[in-house]
Structure 1
Amino acid sequence: MQQSMTGYGRDERTSQNLLIKTEIKALNSKFLDFSPRMPKELSAWEGEIRNMITDQLKRGKVMLNIELEVADNSNLDVLVDEARFKAYYNKFSALTEAVNSHSGDLVKLAMQAPDVIKQQEIDPESLPWGDIKASLQEAIHHCIEFRKNEGEALAQKLGEYIANIRNGLKTVEENDESRSENIRSRIQKNLDEIRDRVQVDENRFEQELIFYMERLDISEEKVRLKQHLDYFDEVIGSEECAGKKLGFISQEIGREINTIGSKASHAEIQRTVVMMKDELEKVKEQNLNIL
């Protein structure tokens, strides 16, 4: 089953009076672009976290956010930097006197100043890493399930576009036989018109005609295009994480369509080629979303 590179996963749980919130967002990217945002207390496990993301999400722009909060604040100590508070208060008092202003609520201003009130730090040694890891794994699981659901819809769309190209190939095949006959008839008619005035070497003419028809022949292109379409359907139905491979196959499909368009001097075939190119552009666009 194919997966989209777009995904979302979230987990929230409590362990040892600690609320663990884990959130993963994934977007399109040619390679793995991992952007973690987590407390400094988890620095020791950053390598393991990165490995979990790399091994399971593989590719895309992955944004990870882990938050750790004290679940019960009833016994939470309030930490105040008294020296910093006094420094702010004294500075504010001096400034008010310098401008002959009323003192105002300097206590409130000093308490709201940066780094006066500190959050209670979490002891890294006491962190429940097993539960944090489980929360991360659950968020990854939800992200993968999201990707699979998106991938299923993408695969269905891609199948429709490839089917349209396949129908276009049938139209090309239907018109190709009459195209070849028309070319032969036109050349023969032109030859008959000048035969009385110009001496023609029949053997040389036949050789040149064969050479000319070979240059316009699209039999091999039709066969290769069908093979590429079959291979595309095979890969999207049987392989996982095949975004890059589908991109390469799409390039080959485009090469055959372009060659058919350049060789086939036929109005209906040319219109069909334009339609197939349009469908192929849709395929390439959606391929960018496949993992």
Structure 2
Amino acid sequence: MTKSMTGFGRGSIEEDGKSYVIEIKSVNHRYLDINIKMPRNLISLEDRIRKTISQKINRGKVDIFITQNTYVSNNTVTNFNHNLGDSYLNCLKEIRDRYEVRDDISVSLIARFPEVITLNTKEEDLDEVWNNLKIPLDDALNSFVLMREKEGQNLKEDITKRCDYIKEQIDKIELMAPAIVVEYKEKLEKRLKELLGDIKIDENRIAMELAIFSDKANIDEELVRLNSHIIQMKDALNLSEPVGRKLDFIVQEMNRETNTIASKANNLEITNISLNIKNEIEKIREQVQNME
């Protein structure tokens, strides 16, 4: 299915006192460029996240934003440094005895000393975290891909209509092409008559001149190739694989053939039609630039 490279998706979950919110957005890019912004404690899962995303996305500049909120924490524990506490207590007793001061040693006093009581965070089970994180990631990816597919379908319909219009213009040129040599012969004979008057014109020389002109102005091959490119483009739009690069190449070839037709035909009306075709090709190129 044809997909756009522009999309947005969002997924969220709240589980075990934690919530995860994942947002994905993308714009067009020549290759797949994944940028992930996430909390530091999830960095070890980055490779899994990238692999999951790359399974569903082939091209585009993709930005992923992961937000984590913790409401209830079971991972933080307190730790009492017995040796350090004993050392502080002994120091306080020594001060009391040495200076004969009032003894106001208390639990809260010792607990306030640095490093006596510390907070430690237990390592999380990465597999468990991943199982929770994968749910909103899949939701965000599914909505993201769906948006890309809808936009891709719109692009496909627009390109198909423009290809049909180009085909109509090609048909017009094909009807006009045979008359180019006839018109040139008439203009040539008229011009020679104006220049030579009653002097007899060498018909063989005129025939030779017409043959040379006919060969130079022949656009049959270009019309055949242009028709072929339109068929190739429509066929590519129906493929189930990424076709953006292929379509971009076809557009370049269509533009090349149209330029050749305009330069070889030596006919004002065909030139104007060729300009119309080039205008449509440019619009197709703009659309193709945003296709995966």
Q: Specify the TM-score bucket, using the shorter chain as the normaliser.
A: 0.7 to 0.9
CA distance in 2, matches of 1:271, 1:188: 26
Give runs of aligned pairs for residues 132-147 of structure 1, distance below 5 A.
132-147=133-148
Deviations 1:137-162 (A, max 9, x none): 22111111110011011111111221
What residue in structure 1 maps to residue 52 of structure 2? 52
The answer to whether the 8 Å contact 1:3/1:241 transfers is yes
Which consecutive residues of structure 2, in runs of 5 or more, have no partner in the other structure?
A: 79-119
The answer to whether the 8 Å contact 2:219/2:265 transfers is yes
What residue in structure 1 maps to residue 289 of structure 2? 288
- 1:61 partner letter: K
The answer to whether the 8 Å contact 1:3/1:150 transfers is yes
The answer to whether the 8 Å contact 2:181/2:213 transfers is no
The answer to whether the 8 Å contact 2:181/2:210 transfers is no
Larger radius of gyration: 2
The answer to whether the 8 Å contact 2:75/2:124 transfers is no
Offset at residue 203 of structure 1 (A): 4.3
What residue in structure 2 maps to residue 258 of structure 1? 259
What residue in structure 1 maps to residue 226 of structure 2? 225
CA distance in 2, matches of 1:195, 1:206: 19
Offset at residue 253 of structure 1 (A): 0.5
- 2:29 partner letter: S
- 1:212 partner letter: F
TM-score, L = length of structure 2: 0.77
Deviations 1:26-85 (A, max 9, x none): 111111121101111112221121122223211111010111212458x998x9xxxxxx
What residue in structure 1 maps to residue 250 of structure 2? 249
Deviations 1:212-263 (A, max 9, x none): 2110111111111111111111111234310110000001110111011001
CA distance in 2, matches of 1:174, 1:213: 16
The answer to whether the 8 Å contact 2:10/2:143 transfers is yes
The 1:273/1:125 distance shift into structure 2, 3 A limit, reads same
Which consecutive residues of structure 1, in runs of 5 or more, have no partner in the other structure?
A: 80-119
Offset at residue 131 of structure 1 (A): 1.9
Deviations 1:170-202 (A, max 9, x none): 2212222222321122224445563854773x5
- 1:276 partner letter: I
What residue in structure 2 maps to residue 124 of structure 1? 124
Offset at residue 125 of structure 1 (A): 2.9
What residue in structure 2 maps to residue 211 of structure 1? 212
The answer to whether the 8 Å contact 2:34/2:61 transfers is yes
Greater mean alpha carbon deviation, residues 27-36 or residues 241-250: 27-36
Off by >6 Å, runs of 4+ in structure 1 = none
Q: For 2:29, what is the secondary structure of its paired residue?
A: coil
Offset at residue 270 of structure 1 (A): 1.5
The answer to whether the 8 Å contact 2:167/2:227 transfers is yes
- 1:36 partner letter: I
What residue in structure 1 maps to residue 25 of structure 2? 25
CA distance in 1, matches of 2:146, 2:217: 49
Q: For 1:238, what is the secondary structure of its paired residue?
A: coil
CA distance in 1, matches of 2:169, 2:46: 52
CA distance in 2, matches of 1:76, 1:205: 97
TM-score, L = length of structure 1: 0.78
Q: CA RMSD in A?
A: 2.6
CA distance in 2, matches of 1:131, 1:181: 77
How many matched pairs?
Answer: 250
CA distance in 2, matches of 1:185, 1:239: 53
The answer to whether the 8 Å contact 1:14/1:71 transfers is no
The answer to whether the 8 Å contact 2:3/2:152 transfers is yes
- 1:287 partner letter: V
What residue in structure 2 maps to residue 161 of structure 1? 162
Q: Confirm whether residue 36 of structure 1 aligns to residue 62 of structure 2.
A: no
What residue in structure 2 maps to residue 182 of structure 1? 183
What residue in structure 1 maps to residue 150 of structure 2? 149
- 2:188 partner letter: I
What residue in structure 2 maps to residue 267 of structure 1? 268
- 2:3 partner letter: Q
The answer to whether the 8 Å contact 1:16/1:128 transfers is no
The 1:10/1:213 distance shift into structure 2, 3 A limit, reads same
- 2:161 partner letter: E
Offset at residue 11 of structure 1 (A): 0.7
The answer to whether the 8 Å contact 2:25/2:63 transfers is yes
CA distance in 1, matches of 2:154, 2:206: 56
The answer to whether the 8 Å contact 2:13/2:135 transfers is no
- 1:272 partner letter: I
The answer to whether the 8 Å contact 1:3/1:240 transfers is no
